[in-house]
A and B are shown apart, each in its own frame.
Chain A
Amino acid sequence: GQQLNQSPQSMFIQEGEDVSMNCTSSSIFNTWLWYKQDPGEGPVLLIALYKAGELTSNGRLTAQFGITRKDSFLNISASIPSDVGIYFCAGQTFGAGKSTFGDGTTLTVKP
């Protein structure tokens, strides 16, 4: 089946730094999704991307849908302590009705 490679697996950064993480796939996706999961909670949708080349922002978060349709990245600018959590990418193919998730990037922000 389809698999997503999400990197890095974990990041330890200082408050105020910018963060970048990405997902790559051997298959083409029509939709890319980025989620954040806090401990003990379900994932929360941050950004959804529907078109190759699309660049979308949500506050300090910016995500892009790669031109090849096989990758996506998420940037967080000026990190703050509440950014701590696990970030997941997910890809969908048109009409498939299901998402394939990456293994997540665990972000730690030091004050």
Chain B
Amino acid sequence: EVQMEQSGGGLVQPGGSLRLSCGGSGFTFGTYWMDWVRQAPGRGLEWVANISPDGTRKLYVASVKGRFTISRDNAKNSLDLQMYSLRADDTAVYYCAKEHETFDSWGQGTLVTVSP
């Protein structure tokens, strides 16, 4: 059974940093693109970033480019999202997702709140 377990998140002040992690199991982690998707309170879903299976290719939504860094460690079946210079509009539940021409499995989500 495919499972993805997330950790990290919490309350951070504007301008602060936070790191989210996601561990995958039940599939060959190192052969899939992996993504982060977020959902602001009461809003729809928004794609944030993805990373290629070998970790060499990374893409970001324009609003986080230069502030967020996605990374992975295939030996540990783990995916990270390092977030810097956080703003109020980054407040959201962040999900990791396994990508295979769609988002076919999702982590449970972790809340990031950016507030003074």
Do A and B associate with each other? no
On B, residues with C-beta under 8 Å from A are none
On A, residues with C-beta under 8 Å from B are none
